[in-house]
Structure 1
């Protein structure tokens, strides 16, 4: 029975035929799979993964994330993943509990945390964003890039609007109010820093959209959720 279970587990984690190998004969990725097989051996209802890939090189880490997800999801096992890597949390989790000083400050889907953060701290922690301060009047928050529904923010008080960088579209325009002051090519996309009325904004655009450094630009907000942080 034990040999049968071992064979079953090795098959689940993709290590068929490697049961007789010693640890030093396995690659780093294979050793990670062995560790996962050991965790699954007693058929648990819950598995804890505590920073499982913190010492793995980035390329292998991405591969292991995908492999572990493919292995575990069909088994119906609940997994609690502890991580400081937001991309890791976003890519693997169905739900995320965001903690600060040992307390859960927000819980929800990855989309909830990214697009509807509960606080300024949560907004900054889960990803880059433009926090624009505006005045609340007539149910709207007025900011340098436009007005947005106040969503219950206190009238006549200042409120902050969170605009994620991928929602800011840049259009080269000699008469535009914005100026591209920095540009970082990242391969699949480009990070732009744009100065608008004394406020520096960050925009992430596909690398196929080329906006030269120093260009004047007009800024348009792509359709998307823009939360107001009162």
Structure 2
């Protein structure tokens, strides 16, 4: 058994993991399963998901995010309301001019950059979506 607070270490060394929060086991399973599919918003934040976007189910496996964007998640079966958790490393910031055709495909969200803070080699960026969420 290894106890760590480092996600990279858990991925590299573990086969199974238990996520312990406030002295209680909140989720257990294979490392990849726990890291990629947190069961609560608190677990998602603890596992590095900084972007939790409210969504509504509009059809099986299809969720509506802010404004009119739809996200297709085949095989996902949650209730009518959900939080979609997206890690920062899975996002790309682009201007409308650099992504022709992508807006129509539903693979983007419109937003306004409200803050960009350099943090060493990375920049933490806050984007406001049309519904006001960040």
The alignment partner of 1:81 has SS state of coil
Mapping 1:44-83, distance limit 5 Å = 80-83=1-4
C-alpha distance in structure 2 between counterparts of 1:100 and 1:134, whole Å: 25
Question: Offset at 1:123?
Answer: 0.8
Question: Offset at 1:112?
Answer: 2.0
The counterpart of 2:25, out of the listed 83, 87, 104, is 104
Query: What is the aligned partner in structure 2 of residue 180 from structure 1?
Result: 113
Question: Offset at 1:86?
Answer: 3.9
The alignment partner of 1:104 has SS state of strand
C-alpha distance in structure 1 between counterparts of 2:95 and 2:127, whole Å: 12
Q: Which structure carries more helix by proportion?
A: 1
Where does the alignment leave 5 or more consecutive residues of structure 1 unmatched?
Answer: 1-79, 201-230
Query: What is the aligned partner in structure 2 of residue 164 from structure 1?
Result: 87
RMSD: 2.5
Query: What is the aligned partner in structure 1 of residue 78 from structure 2?
Result: 153
Structure with greater Cα Rg = 1
Count of aligned residue pairs for this structure pair: 118
C-alpha distance in structure 1 between counterparts of 2:122 and 2:31, whole Å: 21
C-alpha distance in structure 1 between counterparts of 2:31 and 2:17, whole Å: 6
> TM-score w.r.t. structure 1 length?
0.44
C-alpha distance in structure 2 between counterparts of 1:160 and 1:135, whole Å: 9
> TM-score w.r.t. structure 2 length?
0.70
Query: What is the aligned partner in structure 1 of residue 65 from structure 2?
Result: 143
C-alpha distance in structure 1 between counterparts of 2:39 and 2:52, whole Å: 14
Q: Does the Cα contact within 8 Å between 1:130 and 1:164 map onto a contact in 2?
A: yes
C-alpha distance in structure 2 between counterparts of 1:164 and 1:85, whole Å: 15
Where does the alignment leave 5 or more consecutive residues of structure 2 unmatched?
Answer: 98-108
Question: Offset at 1:113?
Answer: 2.2
C-alpha distance in structure 2 between counterparts of 1:141 and 1:152, whole Å: 11
Distance of aligned partners of 1:149 and 1:89 in 2 relative to their CA distance in 1, 3 Å threshold: closer
